Amino acid sequence: MPPVGTAPAAITPGATPATPAPALEDRPSAERLAARVLGLLMPHRRAADPELDARPEHFPLQLAQLTKFIAAGEPIALTLPGFPCKSPNPAKVLGHLPDEGERLSLTFLDGLCAEIGRLYAPGARILICSDGHVFGDLINVPDDHIDAYSNALTSMIAREGLTHLDTFDLRAVLGDLPYDEKRARVHARYAPSVEELREQVLTEEETLRLYRGITRFLTEDTVGFTGTRSALQRECRRRAYGVIQRSRAWGELIAEHHPHAVRLSIHPQPAGTAKFGIRLLAAADAWTTPWHSAVLHRTGGERELMRSEEAARLGRLVLRDGRPSHYECR
């Protein structure tokens, strides 16, 4: 638009006039476009309040973050902590490396960014913040398995041509320090105290739900425990506090390194909070993730996450590149 008082440039005779830009009042404002972008995420929301008929206006923090990116004409940055490592329970998963569950989930996330790009030209990128090393010692997964999983995940992103995704883990922050030292540093700088968490478990429904969910996962994923069932539950309740401490610490570290990014979460989240819960694949349980399960391809084309032992009863095992990938209904 020319400065006030400047005559518009003359059109060369015989030339085709350029399509005029829409009047300012007809252009979507950054706020309206942010709401449309958020609307693309809404069908995939993993909600802690499923009874809510959620609309973009229920997420003022995310709308404000998106609006800033759009007003600046910058690509939208989103962070997603997750994709840590496979569960150590062989009844749940097909091995310790990424498989069809991760491939489908990453493809979905990349496609979501591409969909945003069709609406908003600068597009969007998702940073996968792999958190396996942050609490690997608490979930009894060795660091070499976590390294192998993370490296294979990065290779999968490149092989599948998922150009809207990047990865980030403790190696990007603390280099080649021993993992125990990395964990200790992150915990000391960012983790809340156990006393704080105990108070939140007693007073906050969301923290209580998270604590119970992690305790359940730890109980299911502990193999070879020789004590009683009650002793195992006590041990897992103790470790659950540690996992939450480290997860909170990792979230704070990510926020420090990527302060303006829209924060996604693989856990169910209520509307109006700092994180937007995102569902990666269909599953009967809202807490099920690709790294705690296997994929079953149903005859109608649906893909569902479930325990590997259950999927094995319903389908045949499919290999990809010589490794177990998923199950297909017989």
CB atoms under 10 Å from CB of 99, counted, come to 24
Average pLDDT of the chain is 90
Q: What is the mean pLDDT of residues 42-53?
A: 92
* pLDDT of amino acid 22: 40
% residues pLDDT > 70 (the chain): 92
Pairwise CA distance, residues 137 & 179, whole Å: 10
In the chain, where the domains are located: 30-38+45-329
Identify any residues that bridge with 306 across adjacent strands, giving them in sequence order. 294
Instruction: Quick: pLDDT tens for 128-173.
Output: 999 999 999 999 999 999 999 999 999 999 999 999 999 999 989 8
Q: Which of 327, 196, 169, 198 is nearest to 257 (CA)?
A: 169
Contacts of residue 273, Cβ cutoff 8 Å, sequence gap at least 6? 61, 206
Provide the whole-model pTM: 0.87
* pLDDT of amino acid 115: 97
Pairwise CA distance, residues 311 & 294, whole Å: 7
* pLDDT of amino acid 24: 35
Q: What is the mean pLDDT of residues 69-98?
A: 96
Pairwise CA distance, residues 72 & 320, whole Å: 43
- Record the tokens describing residue 9, joined without a space: 């440039």
Q: Which amino acid is at 191?
A: A
* pLDDT of amino acid 56: 93
* pLDDT of amino acid 136: 94
Task: Give the CA distances from residue 318 to residues 17, 95, 300, in Å, rounded to whole numbers and listed in that order.
Answer: 58, 13, 17
CB atoms under 10 Å from CB of 24, counted, come to 8
pLDDT band of residue 76 (cuts 50, 70, 90) is very high
Pairwise CA distance, residues 294 & 281, whole Å: 11
* pLDDT of amino acid 283: 86
Pairwise CA distance, residues 135 & 268, whole Å: 20
* pLDDT of amino acid 28: 63
Higher pLDDT residue, 206 or 189? 189
Contacts of residue 118, Cβ cutoff 8 Å, sequence gap at least 6? none
Contact 97, 87 (CB under 8 A): no
